[in-house]
Amino acid sequence: MKKIEKLYYRLKNQTAFEKRYPIFKEDDGKIHLLFISAPLSRAGYYRVIAPALELGRTGSHAAIISNIHKQDFTRPFGHYDSPVDEQLIRWAHYIVLPAMLTDAAYILKALKAKNNDVQFVMDLDSNLHAIPKQHPYYLKITQEQKKQLLANIARMNIITGSSEGMLRYYDDLLNRHYPDAGVYMEYLPDLVSSLAYRHLPTPIGHETIRLRIGIITSGGAAYDVLSIRSVLK
């Protein structure tokens, strides 16, 4: 966790390019991934921050997060003040974007103008087209936003998702509404990294054989926990 905190405060406080992105190297022979605008949330950690840090430990890939922002569900992606340095855009082989509910065409066009060879990846953590009525976000996502999200998905080269069922759902939607999109879909489960717990003290053992399951969640994910309540009982 200390490494993650260090990354967050470096991106927040440093302004000099070399200090913000110390692993930046143009001709290192690696595959370059640029993650744009990671939220400081559960999904941001498991699907952006931890994967980027772990990729940085390999000899084949280099991953940079442009910036990390605090989660704000009232602000769409395009409303964050998160400019991306041109050097990072030219450096990237793949640019990884979050789910975008507003028109991404102008953003993609601007990125392509700086690097015509770059491939676009959108990572999906939730099926925003099939939110249950009981879920707190059911009324927050409008039909127009769902329509725009699907249009943005159709503009991607690759879609990664946390659920195979969700990817099949979106693949079917694309085939019906954007049959010529040609988007490649890849199942990518949440990454459980030792970075989150390596500095924690060793847990005290239990004196009984009873299995204990601890679940840490947020208000938005509470419905997911309730959906498996009968199994946990």
Q: Give tens-digit pLDDT for 199-214.
A: 777 777 777 888 877 7
| Residue ranges for the chain with pLDDT beneath 50 | 74, 79-80
| Nearest one of 36, 102, 46 to 69, comparing CA atoms | 36
Helix (H, G, I), strand (E, B) or coil at 97: strand
103: CATH? 3.40.50
DSSP state of 203: P
Task: Report d(CA 147, CA 143) in Å as an integer.
Answer: 6
Whether 194 is covered by a domain: the verdict is yes
Task: Report d(CA 168, CA 185) in Å as an integer.
Answer: 9
pLDDT given for residue 139 in this prediction = 84
Domain of residue 192 covers 2-201
Whether 233 is covered by a domain: the verdict is no
Tally of domains in the chain: 1
pLDDT tens digit sequence for 135-162 = 777 888 999 999 999 999 999 999 999 9
pLDDT given for residue 221 in this prediction = 66
Provide the whole-model pTM. Answer: 0.86
Structure token pair of residue 16: 């000099």
Task: Report d(CA 45, CA 59) in Å as an integer.
Answer: 22
